[in-house]
């Protein structure tokens, strides 16, 4: 599920958020879960049996990537869940009025009580299934990708800027090369790919798919990001969710037919 829908007449629905369904030879995996409604509806339309999912990876603890866990738990209580330890933090967004809106996981961790869900929280990259990896925490190394100042977190009663340390990617070691799945890329897509290149020095990154969170990026930052992306010589760039229209157009302009909109209903084979 995604903000937009690719197949007209498909009966799929869009919703602000992201959820990608992945099948490998051995596993059925969900990367993020959207807000809830579209996961329930679209898996039904696409005949995806949520009860057969064995692995769930959460990119970060925002509601538009985690709310669907509620529907998933109605269908399946036996999967392994992988995320960063900060994923259950009290996440907030500041409004112009100065008020804060809750944007974290929209339920308590106790929702997993009395289920057989195995929760694995780690800051480190991990092979979670054959050929499937989490990136772990992504270091912020460059000076042009910054976390938006609206994102906050409440810790010990104090509201502070959220470093979004929980933001992580998922990596598939596929036949065509590495495929990187991105939630919102809050830590920066270049930082994410630099980190993954260090994790897999022998491998080539074939494709990236997901949200790039560049809706508010300045033209200068956008150009820097695109220049850095070109060094990776990606074969496919599937943009989703929070990438932003201006960023999508700039990517199309530079990378031409390597770019596609990865919306609900898009199927990729790697
Ligand atoms: Fe998002
Ligand atoms: Fe987010």
Q: Please report, in tens digits, the pLDDT of each residue of the chain (270 residues total).
A: 999 998 777 899 999 999 999 999 999 999 999 999 999 999 999 999 999 999 999 999 999 999 999 999 999 999 999 999 999 999 999 999 999 999 999 999 999 999 999 999 999 999 999 999 999 999 999 999 999 999 999 999 999 999 999 999 999 999 999 999 999 999 999 999 999 999 999 999 999 999 999 999 999 999 999 999 999 999 999 999 999 999 999 999 999 999 999 999 999 999
What does the pLDDT read at residue 7? 74
- Strand arrangement of the beta sheet that strand 151-155 belongs to: 100-102, 90-94, 151-155, 158-161
Dist CA 262 CA 169 (whole Å): 16
Distance 152 CA to ligand 2 centre (A): 12
Residue with tokens 């299934």: 129
Instruction: Tell me how far the alpha carbon of residue 129 lies from the centroid of ligand 1, in angstroms.
Output: 25
Residue 22 alpha carbon to ligand 2 centre in Å: 20
Report residues near ion ligand 2: CB below 5 Å: 62, 184
Instruction: Tell me, in angstroms, the distance from the centre of ligand 1 to residue 52's CA.
Output: 25
> How many residues in the chain?
270
- Spatial distance between the Cα atoms of 241 and 261, rounded to a whole number of angstroms: 9
Ligand 2 centre to CA of 45 (Å) is 26
Q: Which ligand has an atom closest to residue 62 CA? A: 2
Query: Please, which residues have CB within 8 angstroms of residue 192's CB and are 6 or more apart in sequence?
Result: 135, 138, 169, 180, 182, 185
Q: What is the pTM of this model?
A: 0.97
Spacing, Cα 74 to ligand 1 middle (Å): 23
Kindly give the distance from the C-alpha atom of residue 257 to the centroid of ligand 2, in angstroms, as a whole number: 27
Ligand 1 centroid from CA 182, angstroms: 10
């Amino acid at each position: 599920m995604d903000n937009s829908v690719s197949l007209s007449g498909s009966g799929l629905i869009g919703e602000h958020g992201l959820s990608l369904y992945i099948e490998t030879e051995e596993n059925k995996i969900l990367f993020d879960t959207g807000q809830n409604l579209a996961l329930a509806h679209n898996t039904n339309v696409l005949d995806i049996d949520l009860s057969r999912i064995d692995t769930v990876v959460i990119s970060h603890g925002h509601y538009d990537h985690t709310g669907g866990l509620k529907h998933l738990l109605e269908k399946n209580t036996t999967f392994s869940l992988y995320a960063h330890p900060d994923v259950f933090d009290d996440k907030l967004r500041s409004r112009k009025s100065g008020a804060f809106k809750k944007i974290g996981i929209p339920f308590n961790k106790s929702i997993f009580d009395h289920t057989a869900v195995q929760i694995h929280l780690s800051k480190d990259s991990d092979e979670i299934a054959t050929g499937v990896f989490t990136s772990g925490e992504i270091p912020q190394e460059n000076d042009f990708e910054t976390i938006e100042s609206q994102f906050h977190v409440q810790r010990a009663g104090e509201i502070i800027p959220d470093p979004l340390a929980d933001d992580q990617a998922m990596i598939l070691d596929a036949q065509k090369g590495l495929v990187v799945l991105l939630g919102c890329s809050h830590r920066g897509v270049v930082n994410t790919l630099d980190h993954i290149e260090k994790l897999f020095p022998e491998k080539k990154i074939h494709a990236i798919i997901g949200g790039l969170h560049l809706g508010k990026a300045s033209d200068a930052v956008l150009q820097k990001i695109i220049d850095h992306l070109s060094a990776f010589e990606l074969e496919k760039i599937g943009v989703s969710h929070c990438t932003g229209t201006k960023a999508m157009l700039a990517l199309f302009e530079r990378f031409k037919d390597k770019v596609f909109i990865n919306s609900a209903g898009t199927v990729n084979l790697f």
